[in-house]
Amino acid sequence: SYVLTQPPSVSVAPGKTARITCGGNNIGSKSVHWFQQKPGQAPVLVIYYDSDRPSGIPERFSGSNSGNTATLTISRVEAGDEADYYCHVWDSSSDHWVFGGGTKLTVL
Amino acid sequence: EVQLLESGGGLVQPGGSLRLSCAASGFTFSSYAMNWVRQAPGKGLDWVSGITGSGSNTFYADSVKGRFTISRDNSKNTLFLQMNSLRAEDTAVYYCAKEEGPTPSYYFDFWGQGTLVTVSS
């Protein structure tokens, strides 16, 4: 089955740039989606189709995907960005949705 | 406004059954695939099952295949998850999630607030 690998944690100072990676075999050939989840809340879509932003998501959130790594980039990080972030892909070989293990973003 | 409201969670003994529901509103329900995703306490997101907009095709994670059944009633805008032979490891918050398309492979654009299932004796 397809596996997505994320770092368990990323720390960043306010105003700096956070990069959260999602590794998978030839993930560049798949569409990657990203969710933000704050404690006690449902996940919220922040990036879809590698780099598209839903309405209401700040331009500070961006995504890229190439080779074996997809990346969620959060520019000018704010305290309110502190959350868990998950990457997500559809694996057509197994007809399964797959989530990465999640990355806890800490704003120092 | 899209709304998804899960219900049916609770405490059940190992080996028992439970049926979850997800009432949808604010969109043409039959036009979109729907999914169930769970999250064990302190753990990450875990896709459980999906169903096409028409209900003709279903998909399951290996961990629940043969024990869980996803279905939908498009006349009542409601998604279901019948869970049988429950195990302690099925304990989780269960979310329903709308997909932006009639079949899997699009993306999940809206989620409900979840319902807690606890499997314990």
C-alpha–C-alpha distance, residues A49 and A23, integer Å: 16
Per-residue model confidence as pLDDT tens for chain A (108 residues): 999 999 999 999 999 999 999 999 999 999 999 999 999 999 999 999 999 999 999 999 999 999 999 999 999 999 999 999 999 999 999 999 999 999 999 999
A91 contact partners, CB below 8 Å, separation of at least 6 = A1, A2, A30, A97, A98
- Residues of chain A with a CB closer than 8 angstroms to some CB in chain B: 1, 31, 33, 35, 37, 42-45, 48-49, 54, 84, 86, 88, 90, 92, 95-102
Contact B116/A at CB under 8 A: no
Strands A9-12 and A83-91: unpaired
The radius of gyration of chain A from alpha carbons, rounded to an integer in Å, stands at: 13
Residue B26 has pLDDT above 90, yes or no: yes
> What chain B residue is nearest to A8 in terms of C-alpha separation?
B44
- Residues of chain A positioned with their CB less than 8 A from the CB of B62: 1, 96
Sheet containing A61-66: which strands, arranged edge to edge? Answer: A18-23, A69-74, A61-66
How far apart CA A97 and CA A35 sit, in angstroms, is 14
Of B46, B95, B109, Cβ closest to residue A42: B95
Q: Which residues of B touch A46 (CB under 8 A)?
A: none
| CA contacts within 13 A on the Cβ side of B104 | 24
Residues of chain A contacting residue B107, judged by C-beta atoms under 8 Å apart: 31, 33, 45, 48-49, 88
pLDDT digits (tens, 9 = 90+) for B37-48: 999 999 999 999
Q: How far is B106 from chain A (nearest CA, A)?
A: 8
Closest residue of B to A33, CA-based?
Answer: B107
Instruction: Kindly report, residue by residue over B73-104, the tens digit of the pLDDT.
Output: 999 999 999 999 999 999 999 999 999 999 98
**Residue B49 confidence (pLDDT):** 98
